[in-house]
Amino acid sequence: MSNFFSLGRLFSLGNSFSHGVHPRHHKEQTENLPIQRVPFVSRYIMPLGQHIGVPAEPIVKVGDVVQRGELIARPKGFISTALHSPVTGKISDIGMHRYVDGSFKMAIEIAADPYATQQFIKIQTNSTNVRDMDIAEFIDAVQMSGIVGMGGAAFPSHVKYAIPDEQQITDLLVNGAECEPYLTNDHRLMVERPEAVLRGSEILRRQLGADRVAIGVEKNKPESITQLKKYLTTDMAIDIVPLEVKYPQGAEKMLIKSIYNKELPAGKLPRDIGIAVNNVGTIVALADYFDHGMPLIERIVTLAGPGVHEPANLIVPIGTPIRDVLDFAGGLKEQTREVISGGPMMGTPIADLDAPILKGTSGILAFTENETSRPREYPCIRCARCLEACPYFLNPSRLALLGKARLFTEMQDKYHVMDCVECGACTYACPSNIPIVQHIRTAKDNLRNRKAESH
């Protein structure tokens, strides 16, 4: 009943963008739980293509013994990244394995050595100190570290740092918004390892030649803000920027709007206006890599949702089957209906619990009847809530109607469907329970295929 009258919305709170939605954040389940490490399990699956771009190329064969941290697949081309073994053990298979969406993808399976110490081997970089690297060396090093964006898209990070000569980065934006409900992995990272966040930011700022760093954090994470501020010293060119709690505050363009009040033109990248954006998780991975030589072999995953017995924030070796991680947290409740990888707004449903945790998996959320049952779909009553939700000022109502009628070209030409980032705010806001994003995804797929065919 607290939402019965929504007066609070009349007042604007903190730095922000226009439109967007205010789902309940549900972070109380996990926001105060310290990060734990999950024990090693017997079997790991490393899909070769768990990042955007070209899949990596295996350099091991079945039967090889690998150390934790050892390179097992190398990047194939520039938009590709390295893969390291998350565990000490033996390569048991290279072949098709289950992926989260239920399909089969090429992966390397590793049987863990139950008796190994699981010490990781450090990656050797050309210069021992990042301070001495030039940007080209830095980019190579990042590519070989296997670091990808941890903010969801899993885009190989080194590609972002390859700035064309005529461009100059002036600002580094660290994304600690974590606007997705339930997820607290970025939050815990900022609370528990603020020095790593700050240090990683400084490393990247120097390498990119940016003037300042801004770390944007939503106001519902006061502890993150105080922790970061506590470790902030005057010699760091870093600002901590509190942001209004609003979804999708963490989306790159929205964040840039909120912090710099700049509107990133459609079809442009942040670097075109002198900004580089990275998730805090990515930043910490960079810090760990350059300070300790640790490649991206584990990440923090939030386990939450009403279907999980013991919600937690866990350090999980990449490649751990999801079922094992869930079992560590007491398993799923009987009432669980759906398990999601990522946040409830943009995440993807998991079709098979035997699929592994990936570099981009920020959370495993389990939901029950309560969240998944829907009133039936009603016709669009043109209430305009989706328009007022869409941070990109698209017309989701129209897009859904056109999508239903399969008028894809009109969606593109007149209503710019391709500008949609599929944030789901419109669908969240729709009282008629219309699967707007689904219609949009179908249209986008269709248009992309058509374009591909015509080339």
Partner 1 sequence: MKNKDPRLLLQSAPLLRQELTTPAAMKDVWIALLPASCAALWFFGLSALLILSVSIAGAVLTEWVFTDKEKRRFALSDTSAGLTGLLLGLTLPPGLPLWMAFLGGAVSIGLGKVIWGGLGTNIFNPALLGRAFLLGTFPIAMTTWGAAGGPGEFFQIHSSNLALPFMQGQYDALSAATPLGLMKFEHQSTALGALFMGNTAGSIGETSSLLLLLGGIFLLLRRSIDWRIPAAIFLTAALFSLIMFISNGDVYPSPLFTLFSGGLLLGTFFMATDPVTSPLTPKGCWIFGIGIGFLVVLIRLYGGLPEGMLYAILLMNAATPLIDRYTQPRIFGRKG
Partner 2 sequence: MDDLLWIFISTLLVNNFVLAYFLGLCPFLGVSGQLETSFRLGLATTFVLVITALCAWVLNTYVLIYAPYLRLISFIVVIASTVQFIEMSIKKLSPSLFKSLGIFLPLITTNCAILGLAIFATNRGYGLVEGLTFALGAGAGFTLAMVLMAGIREETEINDVPALIRGTAFNLIIAGILSMAFMGFAGLFSST
Ligand X SMILES: Cc1cc2nc3c(=O)[nH]c(=O)nc-3n(C[C@H](O)[C@H](O)[C@H](O)COP(=O)(O)O)c2cc1C
Which residues sit at the interface with partner 2, rule CB under 8 A?
A: 401-402, 404-405, 407
Q: What is the DSSP string of 10-48?
A: GS--SB--SS-B-----GGGTTTSPPEEPPP-SEEEEES
d(CA 25, CA 211): 33
252 contacts ligand X (rule: CB under 6 A): yes
Q: Is the dihedral of CA 408, 269, 16, 284 positive or negative?
A: positive
Tell me which of partner 1, ligand X, partner 2, none is bound by residue 405, counting a contact when its beta carbon lies within the kind-specific cut-off of 5 to 8 angstroms. Answer: partner 2
Q: Does position 204 bind ligand SF4 by CB under 6 A?
A: no
* Token couple for 440: 């949009």
Q: Does 343 bind partner 1 (CB under 8 A)?
A: yes
Distance between CA atoms of residues 177 and 277, nearest Å: 12
Q: Closest distance between partner 2 and the C-beta of residue 428, in Å?
A: 24
Report the nearest approach of partner 1 to the CB of residue 340 (Å).
Answer: 7
In this structure, the strands spanning 104-112 and 171-176 are unpaired
- Closest distance of CB 393 from ligand X, Å: 11
Residue 208 CA: distances (Å) to CA of 124, 136, 165, 204:
22, 11, 12, 6
Query: What does 223 bind: partner 1, ligand SF4, partner 2, none (CB cut-off 5 to 8 Å by kind)?
Result: none
Residue 267 CA, chain-centre distance (Å), reads 21
Query: Which one of the spans 114-122, 366-374, 408-416, 433-441 is the region binding ligand SF4 (CB under 6 A)?
Result: 433-441
- Cα angle for residues 440, 445, 447 (degrees, 5° grid): 95
362 binds partner 1 (CB under 8 A): no
Binding mask 278-317 for partner 1 (x = CB under 8 A): ----------------------------------------
Structural contact between residues 86 and 111, judged by C-beta atoms closer than 8 angstroms: no
298 alpha carbon, distance to own chain's centre: 14
Q: How far apart are CA 72 and CA 311, in angstroms?
A: 32
Helix H or strand E encompassing 276? strand 275-279
Among 130, 210, 251, 364, binds ligand X (CB under 6 A): 251
Binding track over 297-336 against ligand SF4, x by CB under 6 A: ----------------------------------------
Binders of partner 1 among 387-446, rule CB under 8 A? 387-388, 391-395, 397-398, 415-416, 419, 424-425, 427-433, 435, 437-438, 441
Q: Give the CA diameter of the chain.
A: 64
Measure the CA–CA gap between 437 and 214, rounded to whole angstroms. 31
Residue among 91 and 425 whose Cβ is closer to ligand X:
425
| Measured distance CA(70)–CA(118) in Å, rounded | 11
343 binds ligand SF4 (CB under 6 A): yes
Binding pattern to partner 1, positions 254-273, x when CB under 8 A?
Answer: ---x-----xxxxxx-----
Q: 411 or 430: whose CB is closer to partner 2?
A: 411
> Does residue 11 touch partner 1 according to CB under 8 A?
no
Which residues in 176-215 contact partner 1 (CB under 8 A)? Answer: 181
Distance (Å, whole) CA 249 – CA 252: 8
Which residue, chain included where needed, has tokens 């990047």?
Answer: 75
Whole-number Cα distances in Å, 310 to 181, 326, 357: 17, 9, 18
Please say which residue, 46 or 296, places its beta carbon nearer to ligand X. Answer: 296
Residue found by looking up tokens 């329970």 in the block = 433
Our CB check for partner 1 shows the closer of 24 and 229 to be 24
Say if CB 249 and CB 255 are below 8 A apart.
Answer: yes
DSSP tag of 27: G
- By CB under 6 A, the residues from 41 to 80 that bind ligand X are none
- Tell me whether residue 5 or residue 115 sits nearer to partner 1 (CB atom): 5
Contacts of partner 1 in 79-98 (CB under 8 A):
98
407 binds, among ligand SF4, partner 2, partner 1, none (CB under 5 to 8 A by kind): partner 2
Interatomic CA distance for residues 393 and 254, integer angstroms: 12
Q: Which of 250, 317, 321, 403 binds ligand X (CB under 6 A)?
A: 250
Which residues of this chain interact with ligand X, rule CB under 6 A? 9-10, 12, 18-19, 149-153, 155, 175, 177-180, 248, 250-252, 277-279, 282, 346, 421, 423
